[in-house]
Structure 1
Amino acid sequence: MIPRYESAELAAIFSDRRRMQLWRDVELAVVRAMTDAGELKSSEVAPLFTHEVEIDDDFVARVLAREAVTNHDLAAFVDVLQADYDTPAARFIHFGLTSSDIVDTALSLQIVAAMELLLDGVDHLLATLRSQSLRYRRTAMLGRTHGMAAEPTTFGAKLALWTLALDRERTRLVRAREQIAVGKLSGAVGTYSNIAPALEATALSSLGLDPAPATQVIGRDRHAEVIMALASTAAMIESCALEIRHLARSEVMEVQEPFAPGQKGSSAMPHKRNPILSERLCGMARLARGFVVPALEDISLWHERDISHSSVERMMVPDAFQLVFYMVTRFDRLVADLVVHEESMARNLANTHGLIYSQSLLLAMVRTGLDRDEAYRIVQEATTRVLAGEGELGDLLTKDERCPLPALMIEELTSIDRLLANLDPLFGRLTTLEGSRWNSNS
């Protein structure tokens, strides 16, 4: 990931140094499990635990230099690690294991750590969305379908729906984390020919993972589920960012992205305040979606394994997490600091000249016994006159002799409060979301 969008915390999780630290931890977890099971003598392997080899930048450099000779990263790592221990006990490092035992188990640990960081960001974003939705729950605005004026809604209702959508994405992320929180230490083709299942379970438990039935590699459907959950979260944020872009258009001007002192919206036109962050989020979602197909293609490997997935995952997994984490944290700031022009929302409602009440008036006519098609035609003709600039919908229908509704009823029906009276259950959902940690912290 380029530094412009990179999180230092995620970069550390997916760094060579952290990866090799986890490789060491997995190797030692197996030695410890073998010792606990009585397969190795404590006195014989004690030097591996009394003197822990530090995985620092120098260690990483020596592994990379060794890899230039072995053309095998894990084999190079084992060579350097055993040499640094400089004890006969080091011969039990990588005893009975294959490379994927270490690599796949460590990758699972990296993904779990990255997912925890991402979920913390999602929880914070959920709290921000919930707070803003309650703040604007009564702020009436024009609802739009097909880009055209429809009926009123509230900006808070829009944000509440975003909150509920993000909570669904959180559920998907949690499930993906659960599916990837596994390791395998079952040997060359997953048959436990040298490592017993009980020993695998003990070693993995010490690392916080569950055993996964596997060939030589963990099934890549688990990794694909992670990538798909990330892409779905990105798409959800994109849908919100796209809405902000539409609402920020000059002729709409209902919201604006925050604009800092000294910021320039255009190199040529000083008046511009472009929705650049929302546009950036939409673009980044395209990249996140782009990882889905490679992740799905990684599922199909030859026989018990090949390494066609390896090069893909080295780039795909870190970059997918970096992209979505960036999107979550930046969208959080955008929502928190969003400029909401309530007066523009009210003006745009008023500029419909009552068209937003067409359905209410239609249904009221039908209730009087008027044929629906006839009622529809009466209202539609009146709306055509409104669009031609001839007046307000309610006034035109009041004067229409074919309209069976009394003037007082028309006045009552053309009320925004009446149309928005049933939104409270939507906001009630924000406090009853099942299983959301963020709910108790906000």
Structure 2
Amino acid sequence: MIPRYSRPRIREIWDDSCKYSIWLEIEILVCEAMAQLGLLPAEDAQAIRERGNFSVPEILEIEKRTNHDVIAFLENVASYIGPEARWIHQGLTSSDVLDTALAVQLVRSCDILLEDVAQLKEVVGRKARQYKKTPMMGRSHGIHAEPITFGLKMALMYDEFGRAEQRLQAAREEVAVGKLSGAVGTHAHLDPRVEAIVCDKLGLKADSLSTQVIQRDRHAQFSANLAVIASSVDRWATEFRHLQRTEVLELEEYFSPEQKGSSAMPHKRNPITSERLSGLARIIRGNSVAAFESVALWHERDISHSSVERVIFPDSCILMDYMLATLTELVAGLEVYPENMLKNLGLTKGLFFSQSILLELTRRGLERKTAYEAVQSAAMATWQSQSDFLTELRKVPEITSVISPAELEKLCSMEQHFRYIDQAFRNVGL
């Protein structure tokens, strides 16, 4: 991933130096496990541990000749270890190292992403509590529906990223699997106990059964979960973009004193952070498709997945970290305008009370169709005139014959819409 959308901590997991360090640790742990089982001399395993090393530039230079990254790595490591290097890679195939190392990288990335989500939830939870009773218009199809509060909207976001947390935990568990079972997964040349010992030391489970590779349904599930989380980020970025439109302006992204919105129009204050997040979500969703395409490998393995995964896993993990951190910063800095929320509530002149009147009419004995048409006639008159909904309701005989003017006024109160907000907050753990 380009530096613009990368943060150092997670990027380091995916750089060459870290990758080769994990490869080396796997090779050393295999030798130590073999020594533990009496399969090679303990002093040789110790020498391998003490002298094991590599040089990234040297590996890359060797790879130009071998056209094989693992062989280039093994040649370079052997040059540092000496004669004991004959034990390195005993009974292994390249994918034993590659897939097990990939699992370590994915697990480490997940751990960072879980921290990111926890930080996001903390910020969103604070916003939800701060604006718990701040009324605003709820919209369906982009049209005024019934009142909610901004705090309730943020509580919904908090709940959604609680599910994101669960998805990350599930993704982590799905890929926290290693394999050291040889060329076609039969352990033909390496005791299965070595696999169990090494995977345990790496914090992984040994795969129950593998071919030359760990099966890619696991990696597809990992990518799918990231795609869902990216879509959640996109969903809320889109929400904030809509609420920042000039005609709505119920909130705004923070705009720093020296920030510029347009090279042509000095007045512009654009929701560029939200737009950026929506754009980046498309990459992670697209990468998940590539992961699905890598499930169907030939027989015990082909290499068609390799080139794909060298791109999609670093990019998706690094992007996901960037997106979650950026969304956290966005939410923390949101400029919220309760006065505009109230102003917008008044735009439809009380029409959002239509369901309250409809239900009261049916409770008092009117057939639903009759009640609906009576309320709708008042609503359409409100849309087409300068009058408010309550005034138009009082003009409809089918309504006033059942509900008194004083009762109508009482029914047109926002309080009933907010009766269960405390319960809703408890439901999501706020």
Q: Give the TM-score normalised by structure 1.
A: 0.95
2:184–2:300 contact (8 Å) kept in structure 1: yes
What amino acid sits opposite 1:102 in the alignment? V
Instruction: Please give the alpha-carbon distance, in whole angstroms, between the structure 1 residues aligned to 2:417 and 2:44.
Output: 78
Instruction: Please give the alpha-carbon distance, in whole angstroms, between the structure 1 residues aligned to 2:349 and 2:183.
Output: 74
1:204–1:210 contact (8 Å) kept in structure 2: yes
- Residue 287 of structure 2, aligned match among 272, 285, 291: 291
Instruction: Please give the alpha-carbon distance, in whole angstroms, between the structure 1 residues aligned to 2:404 and 2:52.
Output: 88
Q: Secondary structure at the match of 2:304?
A: coil
Aligned to 1:107: 102
Q: Secondary structure at the match of 1:258?
A: coil
Aligned to 1:396: 392
Instruction: Please give the alpha-carbon distance, in whole angstroms, between the structure 1 residues aligned to 2:93 and 2:51.
Output: 24
Q: Secondary structure at the match of 1:309?
A: helix
What amino acid sits opposite 2:228 in the alignment? S
Q: Secondary structure at the match of 1:188?
A: coil
Instruction: Give 1:271 deviation, angstroms.
Output: 1.8
Instruction: Give 1:291 deviation, angstroms.
Output: 0.7
Aligned to 1:440: none
**Superposed, which structure 2 residues align to 1:348-427 within 5 Å?**
348-403=344-399, 404-427=402-425
Aligned to 1:129: 124
Aligned to 1:23: 23
Instruction: Give 1:41 deviation, angstroms.
Output: 1.8
Q: Secondary structure at the match of 1:190?
A: coil
Gapped regions of structure 1 (runs ≥ 5): 433-442
Instruction: Please give the alpha-carbon distance, in whole angstroms, between the structure 2 residues aligned to 1:49 and 1:345.
Output: 65
Instruction: Give 1:203 deviation, angstroms.
Output: 1.4
Runs of 4+ that moved beyond 4 A:
none
Deviations 1:102-133 (A, max 9, x none): 11101110111111111111110011111111
- Residue 67 of structure 2, aligned match among 71, 93, 98: 71
Instruction: Please give the alpha-carbon distance, in whole angstroms, between the structure 1 residues aligned to 2:274 and 2:266.
Output: 20
Instruction: Please give the alpha-carbon distance, in whole angstroms, between the structure 1 residues aligned to 2:63 and 2:21.
Output: 17
2:137–2:344 contact (8 Å) kept in structure 1: yes
Instruction: Please give the alpha-carbon distance, in whole angstroms, between the structure 2 residues aligned to 1:216 and 1:205.
Output: 20
1:29–1:207 contact (8 Å) kept in structure 2: no
What amino acid sits opposite 1:397 in the alignment? L
**Superposed, which structure 2 residues align to 1:209-220 within 5 Å?**
209-212=204-207, 213-220=209-216
Aligned to 1:437: none
- Residue 96 of structure 1, aligned match among 88, 91, 99: 91
Instruction: Please give the alpha-carbon distance, in whole angstroms, between the structure 1 residues aligned to 2:321 and 2:43.
Output: 46
Instruction: Please give the alpha-carbon distance, in whole angstroms, between the structure 1 residues aligned to 2:16 and 2:50.
Output: 24
What amino acid sits opposite 2:114 in the alignment? L
- Percent sequence identity over matched residues? 43
Aligned to 1:41: 41
- Residue 183 of structure 2, aligned match among 184, 188, 196: 188
Instruction: Give 1:137 deviation, angstroms.
Output: 1.0
**Which sits farther off after the overlay, 421-430 or 118-127?**
421-430
Aligned to 1:142: 137
Gapped regions of structure 2 (runs ≥ 5): none
Deviations 1:63-113 (A, max 9, x none): 111111111100110011011112x21110111111000111011101111
What amino acid sits opposite 1:139 in the alignment? T
Instruction: Please give the alpha-carbon distance, in whole angstroms, between the structure 1 residues aligned to 2:102 and 2:6.
Output: 19
Deviations 1:218-245 (A, max 9, x none): 1111111111111110001101111111
Instruction: Give 1:155 deviation, angstroms.
Output: 0.8
What amino acid sits opposite 1:351 in the alignment? L
Instruction: Please give the alpha-carbon distance, in whole angstroms, between the structure 2 residues aligned to 1:237 and 1:46.
Output: 48
Supply the RMSD in Å over aligned alpha carbons: 1.2
- Residue 231 of structure 1, aligned match among 227, 232, 235: 227
What amino acid sits opposite 2:416 in the alignment? R
- Number of corresponding residues: 427
Instruction: Give 1:43 deviation, angstroms.
Output: 2.3
Q: Secondary structure at the match of 1:353?
A: coil
Aligned to 2:429: 431
